Structure 1
Amino acid sequence: MTAILEAKNLRAAYGDRPVIFGIDLVVPQGGIVALLGANGAGKTTTLRALLAQTRTWGEITYQGQRINGASTQDLVRMGMVMVPEGRGTFVDFTVEENLRLGAYSRRDGDGIRKDLERVYHYFPVLARRRNQRAGSMSGGEQQMLAIGRALMARPKLLLLDEPSLGLAPLIVQEIFQILTTINREEGVSMLLVEQDAVRALKVASYAYLLETGRVAMEGPAAQLAGSEDVRRAYLGY
């Protein structure tokens, strides 16, 4: 299968402190790949490195084009969009104002209006609250808003950082159902950082397990879910 994103010998650092040590990673076109590991394993740093948000070395290829040296803004325009941990919503803005900020670099008014309706289709609660201040919404609703805002940029690849963090199980289930629907209906590829390894391995086709900035294990998600070592170390049973 064709890769939308490929990293070879990816290394990253904060200042003089190395964090990622030579990761090889592939996200297939239209696929969902999970990036798992304990706190401090380097999952978020990997996403930041791919999106040019930290010092990075190695080769990164997106849609067949080497993107080393591209800015974060350039990558977003090319279709690489992150949904950050903590959601990053603008709490004093309304739902619709937040969504429109996701399309800040676009000038196609008709397309933006159509994409607003598309987001409201996936997240009906946002349609009902389009004029509500984002800061007054629940954590789950704000996570939906963060994903919706990312969709307004018309992503080809979504980088999702801990979308289940701090949310009730039923809300997490709803969000993951919507993500898999977006992947299936629109072909949006996804790289999913997630501490809920059980749920991530159910929706992903392939997974990488990070330990202290290195890939400790990788393989088809179903195969890793069935591994006794993985179950004991990451799945808790």
Structure 2
Amino acid sequence: MIFAIPYEQDFTLIGTTDKDHQAAPGDVRCTDEERDYLLTFASQYFAHPVTKDDVVWTYAGVRPLYNDGATSATAATRDYVLSLDTTGGAPLLNVFGGKITTYRRLAESALEKLSPFFPQAKGQWTARAPLPGGNFAHDGVAALVSRLQADHPFLTPAWAARLVRAYGSEAPALLAGTKTAADLGRDFGATLTEAEVRWLMRHEFARRADDVVWRRTKLGLRLTADQIAALDGYMTDADNRALSPAAE
């Protein structure tokens, strides 16, 4: 299955391919062969053909699949499988497969499997618990953006929308006490400010520039290599200061 979806306002995300990967997960890359295959396929449907010169970023990931006897990775189940071994009296739960979109359901299924060994467990609860920043109605994004702009008039509509999309109901806390853009500290480019970086380091475990510009946001699409290097230097210095004896 090949798809092309609008991505980060100004881009199109084209994917995917399925290939076996036997090396370390961290070594996976989008190969030239995969890139060219996707470009050729997409060009059959686009009004204007796309070439490798149009590509601004590629990425690849490893999905663990349970070996259910399927003849190919494409045909293999995408669901997770739990296997509980109680040999010797100590439970060993093996988890095969799984993906980020079902991790909560997987976790609850795992705890249900282990419940005989933990009778004090309270049972399933995540269906009623929003994720961090998700404490608002499913149709409440526009209202959050409007309120954020009203409280912080220096925000452009696009900037406010990005913050709400990234942090949801936690966006006001990120901006707490700020009256001007200057109050947010250093500007790293593409509306990424020192205040946001500090928030990501304190609350979302970001430690390097890649954590911020690719894993927590996709601002790497808009920042230059020099800007990303400057951000990495800032974060390294901030980490060193936090770990120094004087900070204790």
The answer to whether TM tops 0.5 is no
> Of the two structures, which has the highest relative contact order with CA contacts closer than 8 Å and spacing of 6 or more?
1
Structure having the larger proportion of residues in helix = 2
Greater C-alpha radius of gyration: 2
* Alignment TM-score, normalising by the size of structure 2: 0.30
